Amino acid sequence: MRNWRSNRILFLGVCLAIALTLIGTSQAGFLAPIKSIIVAPLNFVTGLFNKSTLDTVKIADMSSDVPTLQKRVADLEEALARYQSELVELREVANDYQRLSELVNYTAQTQNQEFLAADVISNADSNAPLQTISINKGTRDGITIGMPVVSQLGLIGRVLDVTANASRVLLITDVSSAISGRLQTTRDEGSIVGQASNDLRMEFIPLNAKVQEGDIVITSGLGGNLPAGIVIGQVTSVQQREFELFQNAVVRSLNNFATLETVLVITNFQPVDLSVFEQSTQTAPGS
């Protein structure tokens, strides 16, 4: 019994000595490398427990906030739809402003002509007998049959039919359309007729005329059906066959007739009816 007590006292003394030694060496900084090695695994395990605890808390918080989050999502979707609608309206306003600005610039550069802007309410139908568009101006606005219709890019056609508040315009691309044209550079003349391909064909150009791709074709004013100087289109190719008395050219309008939205009607031009002179010639005395 006495030996056990003495051994116990000895064991406590040894432990106390070891503890004091460890405290002293720790204070002196000799145990820092060992402490870092021992602490690293403990920190890793502690981090795993902390992360699991935080995830559990977040899930619990999110579960309790589901109705709030759903309402927030619904509010954001409503706001997005509203902003998208406003964006569409602003783009339409910008497009309208661009088109009207171009038309205003065109009218400002044109002298001795009066214009009336009109919206296209019906585009050309490729399967229809006639290539026409409809506009929202009619006799109430001073529109009459034969008035020229243009855009900032050139000639569109002529008014074919009129009602009180609408008009139908025959496009220059219709096969029944014939216009007296002139090459802007050389001033050589020809007849511009519509084609089923929606291109134009300039016929009866003199053989000695120098026609080149890219030449601009304008109205000549001959015949009194249209004012002179309106752009019709641009030459894309020239055709000259042997033994023919004239040369021809393919002309493409600068307008896209399928996407017209706003046009200008020249209201102060009245077509001249030259048939009265032909009748007077036929009935002249001595004829």
DSSP string, 226-251: S-TT-EEEEEEEEE--TT-SEEEEEE
Q: What are phi and psi of 78, to 5 degrees?
A: -65, -45
Of 7 and 108, which is predicted with more confidence?
Answer: 108
- Report how far apart, in Å, the C-alpha atoms of 21 and of each of 7, 33, 84, 105, 267 are: 21, 17, 76, 98, 113
What number is the average pLDDT over the span 15-40? Answer: 60
pLDDT score recorded for residue 287: 46
Of 50 and 224, which is predicted with more confidence?
Answer: 224
* Average pLDDT score, the chain: 80
d(CA 152, CA 169): 17
Strand boundaries in the chain, DSSP class E: 115-122, 132-135, 148-151, 154-162, 167-171, 178-183, 189-194, 200-206, 216-219, 231-239, 246-252, 262-266
Q: Which of 28-42, 80-94, 209-223 has the lowest mean pLDDT?
A: 28-42
Q: Are the C-beta atoms of residues 240 and 79 closer than 8 Å to each other?
A: no
What number is the average pLDDT over the span 167-186? Answer: 95
Q: Which residues make Cβ contacts (< 8 Å) with residue 148, sequence separation at least 6?
A: 155, 157, 158, 226, 227, 230, 265, 266, 269
47, pLDDT greater than 70: no
What number is the average pLDDT over the span 38-42? Answer: 55
pLDDT score recorded for residue 166: 97
Cβ burial 218-230 (10 Å sphere, 16+ → b, else e): bbbeeeebbbeeb
What number is the average pLDDT over the span 91-119? Answer: 76
Q: How confident is the model at residue 72 (pLDDT cuts 50, 70, 90)?
A: confident
Q: Are the C-beta atoms of residues 81 and 98 closer than 8 Å to each other?
A: no
Q: For 186-238, what is each residue's pLDDT tens digit? A: 999 999 999 988 889 999 999 999 999 999 999 999 988 999 999 999 999 99
Rounded-to-10 torsion of CA 82, 85, 87, 90: -120
Q: Are the C-beta atoms of residues 271 and 224 closer than 8 Å to each other?
A: yes
Q: How confident is the model at residue 137 (pLDDT cuts 50, 70, 90)?
A: very high
Of 112 and 178, which is predicted with more confidence?
Answer: 178
What number is the average pLDDT over the span 139-165? Answer: 95
168, pLDDT greater than 60: yes
d(CA 221, CA 278): 19
Q: How many residues does the chain have?
A: 287
pLDDT score recorded for residue 82: 73
Q: How confident is the model at residue 282 (pLDDT cuts 50, 70, 90)?
A: low
Q: For 233-271, what is each residue's pLDDT tens digit? A: 999 999 887 778 899 999 999 999 988 999 999 999 888
Instruction: Give, to the nearest 10 degrees, the angle between helix 66-109 and helix 32-64.
Output: 80
d(CA 117, CA 141): 10
pTM above 0.85, yes or no: no
What number is the average pLDDT over the span 100-118? Answer: 79
Q: Which has the closest alpha carbon to 137: 6, 49, 275, 265? A: 265
